[in-house]
Structure 1
């Protein structure tokens, strides 16, 4: 298991950029303190997907911030990304690990306590619980689990697994502190970061909020 910093996990989706250049938005987000970037694109065909993934990898080179690809192990391989994030219906993490090798970062979406408990047998480096709140960034047929649901899944995950666990969906400055207080190790953000007028400034504010909340949590525990 590799160390993964989930504190401010930016997910760039070309559909959620306000028509702006995804590569430049990612550069700004990382300058503001994003610790991990995922490229998610449900519309792009293979060649375009790989081209943009390579451009994102280039802008991240030298920053220490890894690039993950949502769902597509083939794109991660072609673009030489640092890993993938997988949903429960995507390629099994064991198969992804066999293809990507021991040094890749593999993340997994968690929606239920049962899925969290199954992580004990998964070759993954982090989990991300969602959706916590209502979001417009993804068509999610399941209702949001809220903070109570987040705590329930987190409890099961941390009994089954020693790696970091983040949270996703509808998270912004209005609720980030509550998510960290509930036990998450970081927040995954899409619109709150990449639809913001100034992604660098927004990243700085979110990162400060997360860092402060984690410090307070460690003091009180």
Structure 2
């Protein structure tokens, strides 16, 4: 599956299907704001994005953004991939200035370790890992509560920022730094529950896997947005193909007002090209817990990230 970002491929598809060429003025029907699925920009972009391997909801999102860009500029520009938040229906940037913005976190979260239990959280926090996430999987509510509280205790006295995956109510009660939610977790929350997390002062991170989910995440003005999977991963079944660094770079430009985290299949060899996209943090899952010497591995990762930034 093609994971490239190719504005020229979009323009060629539009030209081939509908004859709208580079630099042409916006058709009157589009300028007037009347939307039709037969409009050349929308239809050609939708066809081309689908051919490039974007899933249906992302191809739709991009086609509408390409149309909005054409309306805004007054002409179809074959060289400009949509990267203006307003063209995707997002509100004013930077999101930190919105009235409903979650508390901010550092723009660069650095090495972000996703860890299975409180013991690992404490171990990596003491090793100097700047951002840690407790991803504790259990159907036992009491065990989950104990583990979250233990993780909060484990980072005390360190500089590590602790995010709790999913269990937002326990995270509030335990006084965690933040909570991380997947798309399904976010969709399951009522607006009042989202506001409860916001009012508690917790930072919010949201997972995304393409344009449509980024627009959904932006609607709640989170503290950071995670983008992936960048490369193939066997940790869980993904609804989308690996995004690749070309798409990741485009996502980073679109979401440049956010703290950003790249995740999924990233190893030390691939790290420089991921960091070159402008993403300020890289999340790892097994790179530390599966290492023979996790503390040494953490030190190597942090040194490599520092070198990539330089």
TM range (shorter): 0.7 to 0.9
**CA, structure 1 residues 33+64, in 2 after alignment: closer, same or farther (shift >3 Å)?**
closer
The residue number in structure 2 matching 1:76 is: 171
Q: Is the 8 A contact 1:167 1:188 kept in 2?
A: yes
Q: Measure, in 1, the Cα distance between the counterparts of 2:290 and 2:208.
A: 25
Q: Per chain length, whose mean CA-contact separation is higher, i.e. which structure has more relative contact order (CA < 8 Å, sep 6+)?
A: 1
Larger Rg: 2
State the TM-score, normalizing by the size of structure 1: 0.83
Q: What 5-or-longer segments of structure 2 have no aligned partner?
A: 1-102
Q: 2:134 aligns with which of 32, 39, 63?
A: 39
Q: Measure, in 2, the Cα distance between the counterparts of 1:112 and 1:91.
A: 16
Q: How many residues align?
A: 204
The residue number in structure 2 matching 1:3 is: 105
Q: Measure, in 2, the Cα distance between the counterparts of 1:204 and 1:125.
A: 26
Given the alignment of the two structures, is residue 148 of structure 1 paired with residue 148 of structure 2, yes or no?
Answer: no
C-alpha offsets along residues 110-166 of structure 1, whole Å, 9 cap, x if unaligned?
A: 2112333455432311111011112222332422111122122222222xxx22111
Q: What 5-or-longer segments of structure 1 have no aligned partner?
A: 14-21, 216-221
Q: 1:124 aligns with which of 216, 222, 231?
A: 222
Q: Measure, in 2, the Cα distance between the counterparts of 1:59 and 1:150.
A: 33
User: Relative to structure 2, which stretch is displaced further, 97-106 or 65-74?
Assistant: 97-106
Q: 1:134 aligns with which of 228, 232, 244?
A: 232
Post-superposition offset of 1:62: 1.6
Q: 2:196 aligns with which of 78, 86, 99?
A: 99
Q: How does 1:145-184 map to 2 (within 5 A)?
A: 145-158=243-256, 162-184=257-279
**CA, structure 1 residues 142+113, in 2 after alignment: closer, same or farther (shift >3 Å)?**
closer
Q: SS of 1:124's equivalent?
A: coil
Q: 1:189 aligns with which of 284, 288, 310?
A: 284
Q: SS of 1:89's equivalent?
A: helix
